[in-house]
Amino acid sequence: MRHVVKPTSKVRDTARQLEDTAKETKKSTRYATRTAPAEEQIDRPAEVRKSSSSSSSSSSSSNDGRAMLQKALDLLGESRRETKWLKEALKEQMETTRELKEIVKRQEATVQEMGRQVVEIKKQMTEELQQAREQLETIATNTTDMEMTTDPQPGRSGRW
């Protein structure tokens, strides 16, 4: 899955300013061409009129163009810094994820070992319980046998 990074508000504002500057440049160029004195336009040959209108608007266009380029450079610089920051943040997250995976692996191994120990303890306790039952049966059998051999009156139980 690819994550799309959205530009920050500062980057969006700068881009909007660049667009606005470009629009203003077009407007001012059109305005300068329209507002040139009519007699000046009529008295000059066509080539001179073109160069005149473009030279008068070219200096302002040149300045506007430079301003636009500077804003574009600033925008690119900001974008580069953000990209660099995001790369670093991603590296840190990847490292954290790797460390957490190692911890999970160790915990899984610990849980498995504890499970084996529980099974072993249960087995031991079952064996010990069986031995205790056998010992109790042996004691009960021996007690019954002893009562029969030591009872002076046959038919009477050894219980009081």
- How many whole angstroms separate alpha carbon 111 and alpha carbon 100? 16
Q: Which residue has the higher pLDDT, 11 or 55?
A: 11
- The per-residue pLDDT for range 97-108, each reduced to its tens digit, is 999 999 999 999
pLDDT for the residue 8: 73
Q: Is 30 exposed, middle or buried (0-12, 13-18, 19+ CB in 10 A)?
A: exposed
Looking at the predicted structure, is the pLDDT value of residue 95 above 70?
yes
Q: Which residue has the higher pLDDT, 71 or 149?
A: 71
Give the DSSP letter of residue 4: P
- The per-residue pLDDT for range 30-89, each reduced to its tens digit, is 655 555 554 444 444 454 445 545 555 567 778 888 889 999 999 999 999 999 999 999
pTM score, whole prediction = 0.42
Percent of the chain with pLDDT over 90: 44
Percent of the chain with pLDDT over 70: 66
pLDDT for the residue 39: 47
